[in-house]
Amino acid sequence: MVLVNPRGDALWKSHVILNGRARDYHVRDFAGPLSIKSVVSGSATWETNEGRFEIGPGACVVLNDRQPYSITVESREVVETLCLFFSRGFVEDAARAMTSGDAELLGEPRKDHAIEFHERLHADDGVLTPLLRKMHRGGDEGLVWQLAESLVMLHADTRKQAGKLPAAKASTREELWRRLQRGRNVIEGALGEPLDLHQVAREATLSPYHFHRGFTRLFGETPHTYLTRRRMERAAGLLRSTDMPVTDVCFACGYQSLGSFSSLFRKHAGVAPAHFRRARI
């Protein structure tokens, strides 16, 4: 059963969809079940001890069971959020069903350890976000199953990603993967601020050289290229969905020089920011 906007005591017991609309909304240090946070329109920010995630349409973040988090909505326009909370143990049960043989599944039920997901931004990933769009149009238990299965597969892909990193021990590769993901989370949380990539390396507890080499190997682009691309994507979203002056968009994307911002945007999008807005590309 999937409940939509029920009372708070329904969490943990059933799958719950919370579809909210607000201009000003704040929750601090809430620890709920395993959940997927997404935004239909506008922008909202979730914060955990793993990072700060500014979520807009086409992006989401997975938050672990009992992970304390805060959410902030501050906007002149109404922001619509869509969050799915899984009933406790459901994703673990899906993982067991996907990885065990029939004989084991027919045996005595076992208590599975909670699956822990690394908290990171999923931006138009082609996996979770299309299913969340369908859920917004009308959620049912079939979509919850598909999302749970997708999470299990993403969890397995994490180990494959870690295998790309140059370390002899699997535990070392996984720890390096976590630190590089934390560095990427720091970048995601500072798209609107001046950012020193040496500072990002410190936050990831890696030397600048080690961070640069590992980040490039894991994500296929340098930290600077990643930062620039994500800022340009943020700028395109603001130009497309708001009436903010181009100068304000420039500042909101971490740039202090309108000339440098416009030049980078033209290189990324093929047109100047003002032309991009008029065309609503």
Nearest to 22 by CA among 67, 61, 71, 69: 71
CATH number at residue 127: 2.60.120.10
pLDDT tops 80 at residue 111:
no
Q: What are the angstrom distances between the C-alpha of 20 and each of 37, 52, 216, 239?
A: 11, 20, 38, 24
**Same-domain check for residues 127 and 237:** no
Domain count within the chain: 3
Q: What three-state secondary structure class fits 254?
A: coil
pLDDT at residue number 76: 84
**Same-domain check for residues 17 and 124:** yes
pLDDT at residue number 170: 77
Nearest to 242 by CA among 2, 31, 46, 56: 56
The mean pLDDT value for 15-35 works out to 95
The mean pLDDT value for 240-257 works out to 91
How many helices (DSSP H) and strands (DSSP E) are in the chain?
11, 8
97 phi and psi angles, rounded to 5 deg: -65, -35
**Same-domain check for residues 14 and 79:** yes
**Same-domain check for residues 27 and 40:** yes
**Same-domain check for residues 191 and 129:** no
79 phi and psi angles, rounded to 5 deg: -100, 130
192/107: higher pLDDT = 192
pLDDT at residue number 20: 95
Q: Residue 114 CB: number of other CB atoms within 10 A?
A: 13
pLDDT at residue number 82: 96
The mean pLDDT value for 186-207 works out to 92
pLDDT at residue number 157: 80
> Which of the four pLDDT bands, split at 50, 70 and 90, describes residue 72?
very high
Q: Which range has the worst mean pLDDT, 17-31, 63-77, 91-105, 187-201?
A: 91-105
**Same-domain check for residues 27 and 137:** yes
Q: What three-state secondary structure class fits 102?
A: helix
Query: pLDDT digits over 4-24, tens only?
Result: 999 777 888 899 999 999 999
**Same-domain check for residues 65 and 124:** yes
pLDDT at residue number 206: 95
pLDDT at residue number 239: 92
pLDDT tops 70 at residue 122:
yes
**Same-domain check for residues 149 and 171:** no
Which pTM value belongs to this model? 0.81
pLDDT tops 70 at residue 107:
no
The mean pLDDT value for 35-58 works out to 91
pLDDT at residue number 108: 58
pLDDT at residue number 109: 57
Structural domain of residue 170, as residue ranges?
A: 163-220
pLDDT tops 60 at residue 281:
no
Cα 96 from Cα 103, distance rounded (Å): 12
**Same-domain check for residues 170 and 155:** no
Residue 234 sits at the vertex; the CA angle it makes with 200 and 223, to the nearest 5 degrees, is: 30
Q: Please name the residues in contact with 70: beta carbons below 8 A apart, sequence gap of 6 or more.
A: 26, 27, 28, 29, 30, 46, 47
Query: pLDDT digits over 151-193, tens only?
Result: 999 888 877 777 777 776 878 888 898 899 999 999 988 899 8
pLDDT tops 90 at residue 249:
yes
**Same-domain check for residues 115 and 213:** no
> Which of the four pLDDT bands, split at 50, 70 and 90, describes residue 110?
low
9/121: higher pLDDT = 121
Last residue of a domain, one of 140, 161, 182: 161
**Percentage above 70 pLDDT, the chain:** 94
Q: Which two tokens stand for residue 26?
A: 């704040």
pLDDT tops 90 at residue 58:
no
**Same-domain check for residues 144 and 113:** yes
pLDDT at residue number 263: 95
**Same-domain check for residues 33 and 154:** yes
The mean pLDDT value for 16-44 works out to 94
Nearest to 134 by CA among 17, 11, 240, 14: 17
